[in-house]
Amino acid sequence: MSPPVIDVSPLCTTKDPSNPSVQAVAQQLRDAFSSWGLIQITGHQIPSSLQQDIHILRCSKTFFDLPEQKKLAIDVRTGGPAWRGYMPFSGESTHGVVDRKEGVYFGPEHPATHELNGMPLHGVNQFPPDADVPGMRDAVLKYIELITELGKTLTMGLSMALALDPRYMNAHLLEPEPVALFRFFMYPPNEIGASGGSGIGEHSDFGYLTILAQDSPGLQVKSPSGDWVDVPVIQDALIVNVGDMFDMLTGGRFVSPRHRALSPPFGGPHVTRFLSSSTFLGVLP
């Protein structure tokens, strides 16, 4: 048993709500998010070269291999409410248990004149020098742009899944621009030799929708029957899950799933995963 896999290419290529293939995708989204709350999608149009090749994955691994002093030069805790920069190992916790991971957080670039600058999750990114991680800035900003567009496209399908006007949720939640947080995570092997330790313990995501790319096993989700199941690695697929905000907005019709990330076993390699978490908090009136 594993979460549903949905080919969203009709939705991403035609974006025509009258197309029967698009309507079929909306039906699949409704069924999957009403039960699992988490799916894997193919046909999403995010280039595999950007996702897996020398760009995003290389940049993340290069960054985490830097000396700690260089990573701390962009410490997220000194970056203000924009919440962008490096999160050291054990810098966060889940329900009182320290997470066994380190991360680096980014978001869309906002000019100094942006009307929301100074508000949470709005502001200036902190990137490492290009000499340390060549091409990271361009690769991250391009990936954020593509993931944000994918989020808007999926939102059209989710509006259809809820029998709303296809434009409804984008117009009311995501325009003129969504609030987005983009993160890389690195999970070191378990120190105690057990394979079941958690890099991130059981939790649900607080936002509207999370779009995740994983390059190695470790993510688990609770099935509709309440069992922990692995989310398998599927080449070029993306994981999409409902967040708490969307669960509440739908009155529980779409489920915000409980999930966790296991640490690699003792003696195994360090594992880098990266994700884009788009959190939609409303827009200025």
Q: Which residue has the higher pLDDT, 261 or 189?
A: 261
**pLDDT of amino acid 101:** 86
Q: Which two tokens stand for residue 54?
A: 């020398």
Query: Is the pLDDT assigned to residue 251 strictly greater than 90?
Result: yes
In this structure, the number of other CB atoms found within 10 A of the CB of residue 78 comes to 11
Query: Is the pLDDT assigned to residue 136 strictly greater than 60?
Result: yes
Lowest mean per-residue pLDDT among 132-141, 216-225, 258-267: 258-267
Lowest mean per-residue pLDDT among 20-24, 192-196, 205-209, 252-256: 192-196
Please report, rounded to a whole number, the percentage of residues in the chain having pLDDT higher than 90: 53
Mean pLDDT score of the chain, rounded to an integer? 86
The values of phi and psi at residue 188, to 5°, are -80, 160
Query: Is the pLDDT assigned to residue 278 strictly greater than 50?
Result: no
What lies within 8 Å, CB to CB, of 106 at 6+ separation is 84, 125, 127, 140, 144, 181, 182, 183
Query: Is the pLDDT assigned to residue 145 strictly greater than 60?
Result: yes
Over residues 76-135, the pLDDT tens digits come to 988 888 889 999 988 887 787 888 889 999 998 888 788 888 888 888 899 999 999 999
Query: Is the pLDDT assigned to residue 285 strictly greater than 50?
Result: no
Over residues 43-77, the pLDDT tens digits come to 999 887 666 544 787 888 899 999 999 999 999 98
Q: Measure the CA–CA gap between 86 and 106, rounded to whole angstroms.
A: 9
pTM of the model: 0.89
Q: Measure the CA–CA gap between 38 and 48, rounded to whole angstroms.
A: 21
